[in-house]
Structure 1
């Protein structure tokens, strides 16, 4: 089975991967990841959790992403006046096809204060992200993973976190 298309949408702590194979079968997964740090905050290892997405859901999402023109959306740097920030969430889109690879990014596209929702490419990015969040419960998935970790020092998406031992009553 050769891969026909792969779509990956990244944040600083999660990636959604949707894959269409030449034989028309599909695969998908959500991977949550977080860095485990030592007491000085130096990264020791990367912890991850992968959750399979049902084939039916993957098929629907691939169709939705194609409707939103995922393969042709311009990078945010090609949209006049689109902001590039340092604090907040950046979404990175990877698109693999049999003969083409594209990578583009958008900073805070879901934030009405920064984004330009009237620009077609921005509107399509927002459609894609809303659909993924709605269908996959992305934030909830990450929180469940994060909260399942043992006490320790962690970092993800620019956030440093110290998880303390649970209280004993």
Structure 2
């Protein structure tokens, strides 16, 4: 992984590492906006709700393609789906590790895959509800609503995980998803 490391004035020993490229950041915040719009603003029966859903689906598909074609931190190989690695990561945290993952940590990786799959289910069931074959079919509507509720729980857990990791490492993760840069405090190694 190519790292752009600079020492920051005002934070002795801190390093700035370019992690998230503009496309990853644009997709992340656009999906957040789409979820917020469809959760709180649009009429679930309306055309805007449907169009926002299609836009979110398109963004997720582009992000999945970027997971193969994009720069190293954006690639799936930088944050593989591994429940075993997530368990090891929790153990390392308990032991007081001093490691900052440049891409997603193993728990974050599981959450990313969970959110993408959940968005896929929401989009698939939403599309199904718009067809004559599945319009008004109870289980499709139930699956759509259940997946949305799971997404809301996942988003809450995602935000809590980000806040906990920020507190543990001192790395401003939300700021990194805006700027693209992670500021790694002195004394922390990177992976």
TM-score > 0.5 by shorter chain? no
Question: TM-score under structure 1 normalisation?
Answer: 0.26
Which structure has the highest strand share of the two? 1
Which structure has the highest helix share of the two? 2
Bigger Rg, structure 1 or 2: 2
Question: TM-score under structure 2 normalisation?
Answer: 0.24
Higher-RCO chain (CA-CA 8 Å, sequence separation at least 6): 2
